[in-house]
Amino acid sequence: MTRYLCIHGHFYQPPRHDPWLEEVLPEGSAAPYHNWNERICRECYAPLGHARRMEGGEISAILNCYEWMSFNFGPTLLSWMDRHAPDVYECILAGDRESLARLGHGNAMAQCYHHVIMPLASEWDKALEVEWAVQDFQFRYDRDPEGMWLPEAAVDTSSLECLARAGIRYVVLAPRQARQVGSLDGGKLADVDEGNLDTTVPYLVTLPSGRTISVFFYHGALSRSVAFERLLEDGARFWERLQAGYCEGLRSIATDGESYGHHFMFGEMALAFVIEKAVQDPTFQLTNYAAFLNDHPPRCSVVLHEPSSWSCIHGIERWRSDCGCADGGHPDWNQQWRGPLRRGLNVLRHGAGRHYRKAGESLFLDPESALRSFGRVLSGEWDFDQFFSGQVRPDLDLDTLDRAVDLLQMERWALSMFASCAWFFDDIGRIEPEKAMLAAKRVIELMKATGGPDLESDVLEHFVQALSNDPAKGTALDLWSGPVRRATANDEVLAVLAVMLDMDDTATIRGVIAWPGLGARVERRDAANARINVILRSRFKTATRTVEVEPRGPGIPDEVFLPASGRHIRWRDLEGRKRLLICSRLARAVQKQASSCLMGRTLDVSAIFPSYTEGQRTPVGDYGLLVPNLALTWALGGDVEVERDFLAYVGEGLRREPILLAMFVEEVIKRAGQFLDDGDFDGLAGFLTRVNRIGVSVDWWSLQNRVWRLGAHNLIHVGHALGFQVPSASHP
């Protein structure tokens, strides 16, 4: 009898986008990466798309785990990935396509758009979260979603009704969320708990409307072992646990997808081991929930605990009260701040909704329809011209159209305020509640800009009651007046930021700065660059801000002056993440200029490299910053008469100086990629051999992925140098 295995990963990151630039700004805590999205992508999302199978210390195969596991990704995370990690994004889409071809049903599930706790949302907000999620899914995966992940698995009847109306066939819940099960004919119900619930079959919920929706319950003990008990440290043990005591039906596990690589390093390799074993075992079939449901429709009904979730034993109190559930880092802290934070944001949410409906009547043919359709703009399927063609009243001028868009964005950020992570952890002083308040700041700004009431004082009446456990942080009101206010970006601050970024000489087109939510053009009005116009463009609106800079030569000015307001702004006055953005851009510019300058002299040095004696050789010594380019020049085939001394010198220098090593590795990966672009595998093989002789560690990960995608036959040329087993084993 066939045993079915479904491994589900719930992939989500808190909303990190700046509400004005709509870009994720640098986050120092994510070092050495620029932000946490980038870091977790490299630790988890990318490795899952290129998971290594190892034999004898060599790579025998690279698997796209998304082809073999069930998964859901948050729409806001996919939007970031589409822009910043397109190769990983394509692995995810390919995983769904391949599983659809193999099983008749794709691995991807949808997810409520902003990761809000659905039972705490209004009926209108529930509908928006689901419809925007469906629209996003349709655009990305080119099909309708069959299942939808409920954030935190938080469920009630109203939420299920909303999903069923949207055509969703199934959800996945924790086993302790089941209260009673019975036959489909309405017979007697039996009480169940996690200990006696049969999780190998789907169940049916019949809703008050007469609609139905299926429910899968994952295996609780196995899922906990993956998420919290370090099961992913050993692929063989993972495989043994999945098989233990398993006879028939569906065995499914569900965890945060970040378990595979971010929470547990190399967790994706343990998963790849399991995938390979399951594919090779004729008694197993790797499947997804939709495919299993198609062949095994529910034979039993279920009644759920309502409202309930997978991460709060008190139902959904973790997102509105001091229930005791937290991350465990500070057991003596309380979470009494949760209630005031939610109440304050609810005041703003209700006010924004009223304002949208009232102001939207004169702008949209149908305000509700317009807002429901706005998900197609957020996903990137439609531009605003396509959206306006069927949603706004005729003959609106550009200023009025811009006001219509501001209303839509107001509603979008009003929903974003309620992403569950703002309440999940142990204190209001964390970055997640700050992001919720920053979204609220943007909502208030857009309400006022579109003629609505100023509800800030009403919101702050509640925020003052939300006390941090850290006395230095005070209340939510103190946070609002401090870090939230500093992070707010009005037109003047954006103008200053644009000038400073432009002056670092790294813009693709000199004078043009572009972010997803805002573009800026910088025009110099005199030869000394003392007076500058910054033209900010956001959708239809154009705002010109004049900035005066004291001429001090090239580079970022210490201070700029805004004549219209009489304000002087130093770059040090900008909010921390914007300073990090400037610093990172400037650092890249300096490195690029230095590398270009140094490379020109390196050829001369390598050609006359002398034979150093042991006593004269130092880790970097006389050659200093030339060391990375010396090594690269030799790797590219440059002649050095005293080769052994040369290799010892540059190798030692790189190993002892991490910054120089990083410069060398970055350039090596770039040059290796150029060999691949040219199809020059013989040249690449020689280059890799010489790089490896230098004796430093190079992360060939991205290059290995590219070579594998080009076909196993290419491993004959470069496989050993890149750590592959040659000839390679085939994919599962």
Concatenated DSSP letters for 607-676? HT-----TTT--SSGGGGGGHHHHHHHHHTT---TTHHHHHHHHHHHHHH-HHHHHHHHHHHHHHHHHHH
Residue recorded with tokens 């979730």: 309
CA atoms of 277 and 368, how far apart (whole Å): 50
pLDDT class of 615 with cuts at 50, 70, 90: very low
CA atoms of 182 and 100, how far apart (whole Å): 32
Residue 621 has pLDDT above 70, yes or no: no
pLDDT class of 660 with cuts at 50, 70, 90: confident
> What is the pLDDT, as a whole number, of residue 728?
47
Residue 474 has pLDDT above 90, yes or no: yes
What is the pLDDT averaged over residues 519-529?
A: 74
Q: Please, which residues have CB within 8 angstroms of residue 75's CB and are 6 or more apart in sequence?
A: 111, 113, 132, 133, 136, 137, 378, 379
What would the pLDDT profile of 345-379 be if each residue is shown by its tens digit?
Answer: 999 999 999 999 999 999 999 999 999 999 999 99
State whether the Cα torsion 103-107-110-116 is positive or negative.
positive
Check: CB of residue 445 under 8 Å from CB of residue 342. Answer: no
> What is the pLDDT, as a whole number, of residue 520?
85
pLDDT class of 608 with cuts at 50, 70, 90: low
Q: Please, which residues have CB within 8 angstroms of residue 162's CB and are 6 or more apart in sequence?
A: 118, 123, 126, 127, 130
Q: Which residue has the higher pLDDT, 238 or 497?
A: 238
What would the pLDDT profile of 382-421 be if each residue is shown by its tens digit?
Answer: 999 999 999 999 999 988 999 999 999 999 999 999 999 9
CA atoms of 284 and 286, how far apart (whole Å): 7
Burial of residue 667 (number of CB atoms within 10 Å: 0-12, 13-18, 19+): middle
Q: Which of 140-149, 450-459, 546-555 has the lowest mean pLDDT?
A: 546-555
Provide the H-helix boundaries in 328-424.
338-360, 367-373, 375-379, 384-391, 398-416, 421-424
What would the pLDDT profile of 2-31 be if each residue is shown by its tens digit?
Answer: 899 999 999 999 989 999 988 899 888 998
Domains of the chain with CATH codes:
3-317 (3.20.110.20), 328-487 (no CATH), 491-574 (no CATH), 581-722 (no CATH)
Question: What's the N-to-C CA distance of the chain in angstroms?
Answer: 21
What is the pLDDT averaged over residues 594-601?
A: 58
- pLDDT mean across residues, the chain: 90
Token readout for 431 is 């970055």
Q: Which of 209-223, 349-363, 625-639, 667-681 has the lowest mean pLDDT?
A: 625-639
Token readout for 548 is 């005066």
Q: Which residue has the higher pLDDT, 601 or 329?
A: 329
Token readout for 37 is 């999205």
Q: Which of 390-394, 503-507, 622-626 has the lowest mean pLDDT?
A: 503-507
What is the pLDDT averaged over residues 552-558?
A: 66
> Collapsing DSSP states into helix, strand and coil, what is residue 699?
coil
Distances (CA, A) of 171 to 157, 350, 650: 12, 29, 58
Check: CB of residue 41 under 8 Å from CB of residue 91. Answer: no
CA atoms of 406 and 491, how far apart (whole Å): 15
DSSP 571: G
> What is the pLDDT, as a whole number, of residue 732?
45
| Cα atoms in the 13 Å half-sphere on the side-chain side of 208 | 7
pLDDT class of 619 with cuts at 50, 70, 90: very low
- Strands 541-549 and 559-562, sheet pairing: antiparallel
pLDDT class of 650 with cuts at 50, 70, 90: confident
CA atoms of 707 and 676, how far apart (whole Å): 8
What would the pLDDT profile of 166-180 be if each residue is shown by its tens digit?
Answer: 999 999 999 999 999
What would the pLDDT profile of 84-111 be if each residue is shown by its tens digit?
Answer: 999 999 999 999 999 999 999 999 999 9
The full length of the chain comes to 732
Check: CB of residue 342 under 8 Å from CB of residue 183. Answer: no
CA atoms of 549 and 724, how far apart (whole Å): 56
> What is the pLDDT, as a whole number, of residue 508?
44
CA atoms of 366 and 117, how far apart (whole Å): 27
CA atoms of 52 and 276, how far apart (whole Å): 11
Distances (CA, A) of 542 to 443, 525, 535, 536: 20, 18, 7, 6
